[in-house]
Structure 1
């Protein structure tokens, strides 16, 4: 897991007035809201005897109270009260829990997982605006989140894994792909075609962007991906790290071609189920990849069509430095 990064970890709807516990980035975390609605994220472990704070409650003073001995913690994680000592006695400094900065937008909750002060708010996709409605499905995968991300950056697997869905047409040759680096990520332009015995074009030989097709992929480091299908349709995913071998894919279908509320919800639901079917074609294979961890440094042999995977791995190595 890469420290000092903004990660999408939950949807906003998953955190209401009561504490919510989950495992993210290999840690047991508790999320709760202040009475003003601000999301708080802390390690789910009382500094006294290690009880789970998620079993406690949020008090009117915007403190979370441990269910075991009533210790209270503010949004910064500092214990403000040990009932057994009395409210008049100062709380020792070591009674605190780790808190992570949070950010909420677009119906998602990010945490800044690390020890540094976040340099700025996280980025989201510029072309996803309020005119697009969406539906979300949450899908568990048994592999490292980087393996799941790399699958969505892989242009060569389409005619084999998705032979009867999005990979129809036997376009096995990967011209390019085209790649355009942007702030905190990159765009991918696809030029897959049938093998007609002509030499494949390199990434330097294909135009960027594609002048003949608005379709493109975008990746925002460390865990967001978008499939821009058309002006009115997008597929977007957040690859949420649970631990070293488990990932949750938050998969969204966005559209603006249907505005009527009831029909819009049905279309979004149907789009989500369709995308889930396609994702499960991928999942069947990705869960077999070994080792179950990040691919860089594992002795794999990549070919030119894997350029987006190479770029992603470079970004990971730079973040580790």
Structure 2
């Protein structure tokens, strides 16, 4: 059951799966690593996550509705499920609560932080740690812009793209890579640094031994945060590559900044960040195979250090499959 997470190297991890504004009064059905998930809010507005499959006859619970009691009702036979998955009522079949427990739906740990819905990819009431959400998304005085679109690619290809600096002066030559494009020559050299962090690694790059261009954090398994160095200003570009299935990825872009927050300037800058994301799409979708292959099957160079670090982690994790996860202290945020 729920083998999709292991097959995608996505077992036992936190990931955002939706924006808070996408989950309203109606249940929201989505697919995560080929597994069906339903999100819904109870009568107090709290978000819950269940496997989008009624344990009775396998019908999608997302086709149902949330009652006044905050329970999710299956559209087929009216079975009702509380936020933790417990079956609260089976029409036409009166029985004591202790007997109904065997008819529960599969629930997942879920959190709502920073305008995002986070899900832990292992069924159960508790997760061993809290999600590594960026603190800046809840900071006062910061404008947060969110945007999502779906690409035709396995999630590992866009994830590597987001960790790749050498493509900036080529794919983004007219936008964020323009400055680097103007400075490079035929003999230019880019030096990459990759340092482990509690939630993944941090990478930076230099041209010809100059100052670091920017800091980029990989947040296991599928998150990235680029801190743009602007004196006395906050600008952080976050990206999560959320697997839908083996050939589709939902790209969730979240920008946080403490300037240009008023219209029409905010709308112009938000549109710019969306356009930068779309510049990557054609290259990523054309990559073959769709999923990143073993390191030995492609030719790599020194400037691939960050992407290779991610690839080795992913391939090793996928080989191991789901693991027993022991509780551990919450890691400090690297992207606050």
TM-score range, shorter chain: 0.7 to 0.9
Deviation at 1:87, TM superposition (A): 5.0
Quote the Cα distance in structure 1 between the aligned partners of 2:11 and 2:189.
34
Q: With structure 2 as the length reference, what TM-score do the two structures score?
A: 0.82
User: Which residue of structure 2 lines up, in the alignment, with residue 312 of structure 1?
Assistant: 310
Quote the Cα distance in structure 1 between the aligned partners of 2:75 and 2:99.
18
1:189 counterpart (199, 204, 207): 204
Q: Does the alignment pair 1:107 with 2:115?
A: yes
Q: Kindly provide the CA deviation profile for residues 62-89 of structure 1, in whole angstroms up to 9, marking residues without a partner as x.
A: 3211111111112222323211213568
CA contact (8 A) 2:205 2:212 kept: no
CA contact (8 A) 1:4 1:115 kept: no
Quote the Cα distance in structure 1 between the aligned partners of 2:293 and 2:140.
36
Q: Does the alignment pair 1:167 with 2:177?
A: yes
Q: What does residue range 208-247 of structure 1 map to in structure 2 within 5 Å?
A: 212-213=211-212, 215-229=214-228, 230=230, 231-247=233-249
CA contact (8 A) 1:9 1:109 kept: yes
For the residue of structure 1 that corresponds to 2:92, the secondary structure is: helix
Q: Does the alignment pair 1:139 with 2:149?
A: yes
Q: With structure 1 as the length reference, what TM-score do the two structures score?
A: 0.85
Q: Which moved more, 1:101-110 or 1:12-21?
A: 12-21
Q: What does residue range 286-301 of structure 1 map to in structure 2 within 5 Å?
A: 286-296=284-294, 299-301=297-299
Q: Which moved more, 1:117-126 or 1:88-97?
A: 88-97
For the residue of structure 2 that corresponds to 1:277, the secondary structure is: helix
User: Which residue of structure 2 lines up, in the alignment, with residue 201 of structure 1?
Assistant: none
User: Which residue of structure 2 lines up, in the alignment, with residue 199 of structure 1?
Assistant: none
For the residue of structure 2 that corresponds to 1:291, the secondary structure is: coil
Quote the Cα distance in structure 2 between the aligned partners of 1:40 and 1:119.
18
User: Which residue of structure 2 lines up, in the alignment, with residue 196 of structure 1?
Assistant: none
For the residue of structure 1 that corresponds to 2:76, the secondary structure is: coil
Q: Kindly provide the CA deviation profile for residues 176-212 of structure 1, in whole angstroms up to 9, marking residues without a partner as x.
A: 212222111222212146xxxxxxxxxxxx6xxx8x4
1:251 counterpart (250, 253, 278): 253
Quote the Cα distance in structure 1 between the aligned partners of 2:234 and 2:199.
25
Structure 1: unaligned runs, 5 residues or longer: 194-205
* Aligned pairs, number: 301
User: Which residue of structure 2 lines up, in the alignment, with residue 268 of structure 1?
Assistant: 266
For the residue of structure 1 that corresponds to 2:277, the secondary structure is: helix
Q: Kindly provide the CA deviation profile for residues 146-182 of structure 1, in whole angstroms up to 9, marking residues without a partner as x.
A: 1111001112212222222222325374522122221
Quote the Cα distance in structure 1 between the aligned partners of 2:254 and 2:116.
11
Quote the Cα distance in structure 2 between the aligned partners of 1:297 and 1:318.
11
Quote the Cα distance in structure 1 between the aligned partners of 2:166 and 2:213.
20
Quote the Cα distance in structure 2 between the aligned partners of 1:227 and 1:174.
21
CA contact (8 A) 1:147 1:295 kept: no
For the residue of structure 2 that corresponds to 1:17, the secondary structure is: coil
CA contact (8 A) 2:88 2:100 kept: no
CA contact (8 A) 2:27 2:66 kept: yes
User: Which residue of structure 1 lines up, in the alignment, with residue 334 of structure 2?
Assistant: none
User: Which residue of structure 1 lines up, in the alignment, with residue 192 of structure 2?
Assistant: 177
Deviation at 1:93, TM superposition (A): 5.0
Pick closer, same or farther for the CA change 1:45–1:280 going to 2, 3 Å.
same
RMSD over aligned CA atoms reads: 2.4
2:46 counterpart (38, 61, 65): 38
Q: Which moved more, 1:97-106 or 1:288-297?
A: 288-297
Pick closer, same or farther for the CA change 1:21–1:284 going to 2, 3 Å.
same
User: Which residue of structure 1 lines up, in the alignment, with residue 140 of structure 2?
Assistant: 130
